[in-house]
Structure formats: structure tokens, C-alpha cells
């Protein structure tokens, strides 16, 4: 359960709403199968948020085809990195039978944590940068995204 506590702490730091939902689910989970389901549900919610943010970036930057092309390329590369990191963290993924009943929960928590970190990174393109930020890169200015 130590790993579970650390993972929940990481989720709280990244997104209190996701952590709250995970805590509520886990508070009602009495079996490992239920805890595994809570972890899977948390990942599904994080993945939905990632897809929402990705689509919103595509909408806001529809006039920048070079950015959209790079966004897609970066997102596909991130998915490969996330999956490679998962195998690094849990090499027994290739033999889940030998991993134990909590393995599904651990995988779900890992993928949720990685996904929420990616969401926070991508939200920079939704927030925009301050005018005059010479290191803003491809981010639009806040004023251009949100007016006023």
C-alpha cells in the first residue's frame, strides 16, 4: 500500500479533482479487483482530459498548420515514451501472470500519473504566454487566446 499512497500523493499534486475521485473510489473498494478497477477508472478519466485538452489546442491553433503537425508528432512520440517508461518501471508487464493481483492497480496509477503530467504540460498552449515572453515558442499570447 506504500506505492498506492505515493501514487495518490502524486495525483493530488497534479490534479486534486482526479485524486478526490480516486480516493472516493478506493474508500469504497474492499477487494484488489475493486482497487484495480478504481485505478483503471482514474486512468480513463485522465485520458479523457488529455483528449479534451488536445482537441482544444487543435481548435485554438487551427490557423497554425506547422504547430498542429508538430503537436501530433509530439503526442505520438509521448505515447511511445509513456509505454516505454511503463516497461522500464514494470518489466514484468511482459509476464503479468507473475506480477501479482495488485499489478493492474500499479499500471493504472502509473499511466494516470504520466497522463496528468502530460495534460499539465499541454495546458500551457491553452493558457497562453504573457505578452513579451521571448521564450514562449509556439504558444499564443494570453491576450490573443482569451481577449482582454
User: Is the pLDDT assigned to residue 16 strictly greater than 70?
Assistant: no
d(CA 142, CA 126) in angstroms, rounded, equals 8
Summarised one tens digit per residue, pLDDT across range 59-116 is 999 999 999 999 999 999 999 999 999 999 998 887 767 678 888 899 999 999 999 9
Residue 129, SS3 per DSSP: strand
Q: What is the pLDDT, as a whole number, of residue 99? A: 72
Ordered structural domains, the chain, with CATH: 2-123 (1.20.1270.180)
Amino acid at each position: 500500500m506504500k506505492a498506492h499512497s505515493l501514487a495518490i500523493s502524486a495525483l493530488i499534486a497534479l490534479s486534486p479533482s482526479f485524486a478526490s475521485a480516486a480516493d472516493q473510489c478506493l474508500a469504497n473498494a474492499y477487494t484488489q479487483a475493486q482497487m484495480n478497477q478504481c485505478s483503471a477508472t482514474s486512468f480513463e478519466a485522465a485520458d479523457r482530459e488529455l483528449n479534451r485538452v488536445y482537441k482544444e489546442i487543435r481548435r485554438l491553433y487551427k490557423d497554425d498548420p506547422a504547430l498542429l503537425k508538430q503537436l501530433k508528432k509530439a503526442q505520438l512520440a509521448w505515447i511511445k515514451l509513456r509505454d516505454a517508461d511503463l516497461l522500464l518501471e514494470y518489466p514484468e508487464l511482459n509476464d503479468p501472470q507473475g506480477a501479482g493481483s495488485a499489478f493492474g492497480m500499479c499500471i493504472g496509477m502509473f499511466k494516470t500519473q504520466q497522463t496528468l503530467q502530460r495534460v499539465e504540460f499541454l495546458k500551457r498552449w491553452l493558457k497562453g504566454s504573457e505578452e513579451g515572453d521571448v521564450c514562449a515558442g509556439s504558444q499564443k499570447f494570453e491576450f490573443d487566446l482569451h481577449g482582454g
